[in-house]
Structure 1
Amino acid sequence: MKNRMKYIIFIVTISLFMTACHDDLDQDPIDPDSFTEQDVFVNTTEAKKALAKLYASLALTGQQGPSGQPDISGIDEGFSQYTRMLFNLNELTTDHAVVGWGDAGLPDLHGLYWSAGNDFTGAMYLRLAQEVSFTNAFIQNASALPDAEAQTFIAEARFLRAFAYYNLIDFYANVPLVTQITTDLPSQSSRTELFDFVESELLEIQDLLLDSNEYGRVDKVAAWALLSKLYLNAEVWTGTPRYSECVTYSEHVLNSSYSINMNDANGNGNAYDELFLADNDTNGAQQEFIFALNFDGIQSQTYGGSTFLVHAATGGSMDPLSLGINGGWGGLRTTKALVEKFESSEIDVPTLNSQLGGSLSDWGLVGDLNEWGDEDVEMYETSTDVYQIYITLADGQLKFRFNENWGNNYGDNGADGSLEAGGENITVTAGTYLVTLNLATLTYSFEAIEAAGDNRGMFYTDGQSLEIGSIPPFAEGYAVTKFKNIDSNGNQGSDSSGDFVDTDLPVIRLAEIYLNYAEAHLRGGGGSISTAVDKINELRERGYGNTSGNITSGDLTLDFVLDERSRELYWEGQRRTDLIRYNYFTTNAYLWPFKGNQANGTAVDAYRSVFPIPTNTISTNPNLIQNDGY
């Protein structure tokens, strides 16, 4: 499926969702080698290729790769890709990101002052409208196929249509509900009507979808997961809480065959970063991906997707080659509001020493750490002829000495780890170490001790300031290195030029459903507090690499879950929706740098919780009413 997408060039005659997304979308195939509609639906083998187009429409942008024959006109083709727009609307508008580019309408998003004519809010509307149109055409045409497999394809198309409407409900609230190909001007549906449609579709298709499917395609667990997401937001979108249903369908997902990735494929101490590497379709991360969009640097090229997330977040003194690309675009960074959500703990040296056992001895350390004075830093005798101590050192030199007597000291001639009586000073670099002296073998070691902390926070700080005084300079704000175009072995993705990225992007993954369950439970949806805590701790143990970050039921509050969603899901297209659910997005209950276009943040009008229907769409369809405030 992943490699096949490049070869599927399939444009169906689509419904005029908004009196046409754009005129160039309502057309016959534009490539002379393309399949015609009759060819595509002659049998299930050909229909599967058309199904690939429905998935590819969320990943790609046109008919010939990164640019040249766009599905949507009126905006740079790379800008119009779905996950790039998802980032712009759901991350760039929040505390998770700022961008230094000055493209018209782009700074408006982080400043929360966009207008109805904003190209980026309009592009997402058109992209989702196109997906609805494509799925409607597929469902109608594939319905004539008698094979049972075709019914599975139709169920997948209905899922993708429901997913598009889930996004439309979230972003635009009241849009036309169109389920058939038509040239009539559609009427506007309410958010509740749209919600009810998505719910009914997912409930109907859950048993029509396969129990498991090939990577890149959805199965019945995806329907349960999208219902979990839908019900979590029901109170905001319809005024009626549905948290018990959120718990129910989250439990279905929790009890499915999907699992949290715990495979530390690159051996760096935790298994979180594997989710965002170039081989995340094979390194174990795929077991967590319930719905992922597939990208390949050769077969499916786009200037959106993971290519955007890796290139746009690279700049300053960062080394592009270490991220598997040929250069950075120097645009995206994050605010201190995200950085400061990641906990780290100081190394408790006295406690570590108390856990060594043994007793203080006459052997100790002397050197720059005590200005080569008379009183050594005494070590603990932990076994016969073995002495140890945890200690924090600055850059400098030291030796081992007995009872403050220079007549009995050891150094290291040649810096080879072996000791000689009266040998040369031992050079050390700053850090916290477990220092071991073994007199039986006349050897020593310095084992670096790292502070325990949450490794999910992947930031580049060299030359970057935590505080943002002005958004355009790339150096202001930490850079984010979460997404990379290198695999678990450190190899670059398939495009040797470094232009395009292989990393697949999870749109729904199991970790999100863990968090949905916990939040819905705390909001009165039932379920088990112990299950919620266990699932949160499973994510935290992966992030910390150990149990040092584990919580108890007393720690589990709604605000803790919101912060945990930020730590686990940042830059994955969730944040704005989460903040709205907590009533933090527009209010002064939570401020972040440059919210409301103010350096310290300020509240904005409540109508900013939904985006405007594009001005061109309103002007061409008199049945539509613009959202309040626009």
Structure 2
Amino acid sequence: MKNINIFKVATLALLMGTASCTNLDVIPKNAAVGDVVFTDPAAYKQSLAKVYAGLAIGGQASGDDNSDISGINGGFSQYIRMYFNLQELPTDEAVIGWNDGSIQTLHFHTWTSQSEFINAMFNRVYFQVSMANEFLRQTTDDLLTSRGNTDAIKADVKQYRAEVRFLRALSYWHGLDMFGSIPLVPETNPIGTEGPGQPEGGKQEVFNYIESELLTAIDDLGQPGTMEYARVDQAAAWTLLAKLYLNAEVYTGTKKYTEALTYLNKVIASNAFSLDPVFNNLFLTDNYKSPEIIFPVAFDGTNTKTYGGTTYLCHASVGGDKMKPADYGLDGGWAGLRTTANIVNLFGPADSRAIFFTDGQTKDIPGTPNTSFNQGYAHPKFQNVSSAGTKGSNSTFADTDFPMFRLADVYLMYAEAVLRGGTGGDQATALDYVNKLRVRAYGNTNGNIQTGDLTLSFIIDERGRELSWECHRRTDLVRFGLLTTSESSDARAIWAWKGGAKAAGEQTETFRNVFPIPSAALTANTKLKQNDGY
């Protein structure tokens, strides 16, 4: 088993408790705070671990009990589970067979500001921000000195602070990408007061803040490949910067593909990462061994028991009459997630990335997605078994880590940035990177493409093949103008039940390229303004 030391420190003894984040300003509550907690130097790493754990678990007790955020079950609202729902269910990559609350509105593109799932994701972003802010408040140079910490502790904390700033920037990026202009909550903001509204500079100001935070943190982060497993290093920050720049035209109207290439080149030149020889191994319980994953969200069926994360992705993708949960290291299937014919049709017959279960399943979805699990191919990409076929440590809670960033994505971003006119890269290198993925997928050069085949149209399809269910699709479709209404009338902008009116699907309003600010947040903070169209 992997040794996730960052999660095994005493953080889970609950230094930080529950909080509702609708006012964007609360901090996790506990009687033992500040100087009381930090009299023990070990508390700094414990508190750091809790910020990381906010991406992995949904509550303060085993199985997400004592939820971090109010109004919704901890496992139901766990960070990666909510991120998956908002990044995948509105796209051609995923449908779900349940009728929980407003879940079907995500695929139908009929969601409103009342959606509990949208509200939960918004709150998850700000719960992470609140924990990061509290850590940074409690680790200033003055406070470290006043508590009598040694120079060695101060040096460690300097790096911890850089990691926390990355984690805060990551959540702010998720917020910018999904909600547009969002509030920026200063770590010095007085506790208990109404949170700020959206910044006057709108999305541009949020973009600038994320960029500045990452650029400031990078020098204090560990060198690529030198960090304790599942902790942030410079390559993770370079990758996040590249993602920010690749989508800059969407966020701000300004192209930054050259800047994206600058940081993609840094990741590649670090030589700290290489493609995993076997694609499927990236999504199994021993994926912590993979040389490809730049930044994972770590899960452990014994130590991070959550009904979100990869537990959700493993269980929810198994169901029907033919699939055997034990084959996937599970004690049962939840009969939820499948994919649409649009995604299935992207794959050639010899492509090993086509991880579909078809026996007893129809490729098309003639009935609404909640009609039957058997409509739509199952896509058990994430599994609770190892590359050797050994079941995970717990058949209920998955051991499989979630690859937030990996090298294959970096290669595809490089190719896209070159095709979009960025300087600092070239098409020959881009073609080589793409064909490295194709060789892995096909086991030989039969799937390789030529220079004339390397187009933006190819890239969006290749991203669907390589990165399905890894929480990229909604962002990608927005960037390519395909999530809602395609100005070019591209057929890829329509898939089964998009729009909710018919099985064939239909285009939807462009304002749905971002989600609404949740009504609960608007009620709690009167400074907030709703996004256009909602």
- The TM-score normalised by the length of structure 1 is 0.77
Q: Identify the residue that residue 331 of structure 1 maps to in structure 2.
A: 336
In structure 2, the residue matched to 1:42 is 39
Q: Secondary structure at the match of 1:328?
A: coil
Q: Secondary structure at the match of 2:60?
A: coil
Is 1:318 matched with 2:313?
no
Q: Which residue pairs with 1:596 in the alignment? A: 499
Question: Could you tell me how far apart the structure 2 residues matched to 1:276 and 1:16 are?
Answer: 33
Q: Deviation of residue 218 (structure 1)?
A: 0.4
Partners in 1 of 2:242 and 2:309 — Cα distance? 25
Q: Which deviations, in whole Å up to 9, do the C-alpha atoms of 1:433-488 show, x marking residues without a partner? A: xxxxxxxxxxxxxxxxxxxx110110000000011111220111000121110111
In structure 2, distance between residues paired with 1:166 and 1:518 = 22
**For 1:295-316, what per-residue CA distance to the aligned partner results, in whole angstroms no more than 9, with x for missing partners?**
0111110000110001000001
- Counterpart check, 1:127 vs 2:131: no
Structure 1 unaligned residues grouped into runs of 5+? 30-34, 264-270, 345-452
Q: CA deviation at 1:257?
A: 2.8
Q: Is 2:205 aligned against 1:208?
A: no
Match of 1:268 in 2: none
Instruction: Determine the structure 2 residue equivalent to 1:508.
Output: 405
**1:101-140 mapped onto 2 (5 Å cutoff):** 101-140=98-137
1:291 to 271, 295, 306: 295
- 1:550-607 deviations in whole A, cap 9, x for unaligned? 1111110001011111101000000000000011110143211111113111111111
- Does the C-alpha gap of structure 1 residues 215 and 278 become closer, same or farther in structure 2, counting only changes over 3 Å? same
Shift, 1:45, TM fit: 2.7
**C-alpha distance in structure 2 between counterparts of 1:17 and 1:500, whole Å:** 27
Select 1:188's aligned residue among 198, 216, 234.
Answer: 198
Q: What's the RMSD between the two structures over aligned residues?
A: 1.8
Residue 475 of structure 1 aligns with which residue?
374
Aligned partners of 1:459 and 1:481 also within 8 Å: yes
SS in 1 for 2:61: coil
Task: Report the 3-state secondary structure (helix = DSSP H, G, I; strand = E; otherwise coil) of the residue aligned with 2:404.
Answer: strand
Which residue of the other structure, out of 386, 393, 396, is the alignment partner of 1:487?
386
- Give 1:540 deviation, angstroms: 1.1
Deviations 1:80-119 (A, max 9, x none): 1111111100111100011010011100000010010100
Instruction: Check whether the contact 1:39–1:46 (CA below 8 A) recurs between aligned residues.
Output: no
- How far apart in 1 are the matches of 2:296 and 2:318? 23
Aligned match of 2:211: 199
Task: Verify: 1:342 aligned to 2:347, yes or no.
Answer: yes
Q: Does 1:155 align with 2:159?
A: no
Asked if 1:306 corresponds to 2:298, the answer is no
| TM-score when normalising by structure 2 | 0.91
Shift of 1:148: 1.0
Native 8 Å contact 1:90 1:573 kept in 2: yes
User: After superposition, what is the alpha-carbon deviation per residue over 1:358-396, rounded to whole angstroms, capped at 9, x for unaligned?
Assistant: xxxxxxxxxxxxxxxxxxxxxxxxxxxxxxxxxxxxxxx
In structure 2, distance between residues paired with 1:272 and 1:42: 46
Helix, strand or coil at the partner of 1:524: coil
Measure, in 2, the Cα distance between the counterparts of 1:137 and 1:36: 10
Structure with bigger helix share is 2
Identity, in percent, stands at 45
* Residue from 587, 612, 620 that aligns with 2:516: 612
| Distance in 2, Cα, partners of 1:275 & 1:40 | 38
Structure 1 Cα separation of the partners of residues 260 and 108 of structure 2: 32
Correspondent of 1:5 among 1, 7, 27 = 7
TM alignment of 1:543-554, pairs within 5 A:
543-554=441-452
In the alignment, which residue of structure 2 is the partner of 1:409? none
| 1:593/1:600 contact within 8 Å kept | yes
For residues 604 and 54 of structure 1, do their structure 2 counterparts lie closer, same or farther at Cα, with a shift above 3 Å needed?
A: same
Distance 1:112 1:550, change over 3 A: same
Distance in structure 2 (CA, Å) of the matches to 1:290 and 1:135: 21
Distance 1:43 1:241, change over 3 A: farther
Contact 2:19–2:68 (CA<8 Å) still a contact in 1? no
Alpha-carbon shift at residue 3 of structure 1 (Å): 5.4
Cα distance change, pair 454–49 in 1 and its aligned pair in 2 (3 A) = same
Aligned partners of 2:325, 2:332: CA distance in 1, in Å?
5
Matches within 5 A, 1:168-567: 168-180=175-187, 181-183=189-191, 184-185=193-194, 186-189=196-199, 190-211=202-223, 212-263=226-277, 271-282=278-289, 285=290, 287-316=291-320, 317-344=322-349, 453-470=350-367, 471=369, 472-495=371-394, 498-526=395-423, 527-567=425-465
Aligned equivalents of 2:15, 2:408: Cα separation in 1: 35
Cα separation, 2, equivalents of 1:599 and 1:258? 46
135-144 or 120-129, which moves further after superposition?
135-144
SS of 1:506's equivalent?
A: strand
Q: Matched residue of 2:410: which SS?
A: helix
Which structure has the bigger radius of gyration? 1
Moved beyond 4 Å, runs of 4+? 11-18
How far is the alpha carbon of 1:18 from its aligned partner?
Answer: 4.4
| AA at the equivalent of 1:279 | D
Contact 1:15–1:182, Cα closer than 8 Å, also in 2: no
Paired residues of 1:15 and 1:133 also in contact (CA < 8 A): no
What is the CA-CA distance between 1:12 and the residue it aligns to? 4.5
Instruction: State how far apart, in whole Å, the 2-side matches of 1:477 and 1:339 are.
Output: 9
**For 1:292, what is the secondary structure of its paired residue?**
strand
Contact preservation (8 Å) 2:275, 2:407 = no
Structure 1 residues 214 and 8: alpha-carbon distance in aligned structure 2, compared to 1, 3 A threshold: same
What are the Cα deviations for residues 393-445 of structure 1, in whole angstroms up to 9, with x where unaligned? xxxxxxxxxxxxxxxxxxxxxxxxxxxxxxxxxxxxxxxxxxxxxxxxxxxxx
The alignment status of 1:63 with 2:60, answered yes or no, reads yes
SS of 1:28 mapped into structure 2: coil
Give the partner amino acid of 2:217. Answer: I
Count of aligned pairs: 503
The alpha carbon displacement at 1:39 in A equals 4.4
Deviates most, 113-122 or 11-20: 11-20
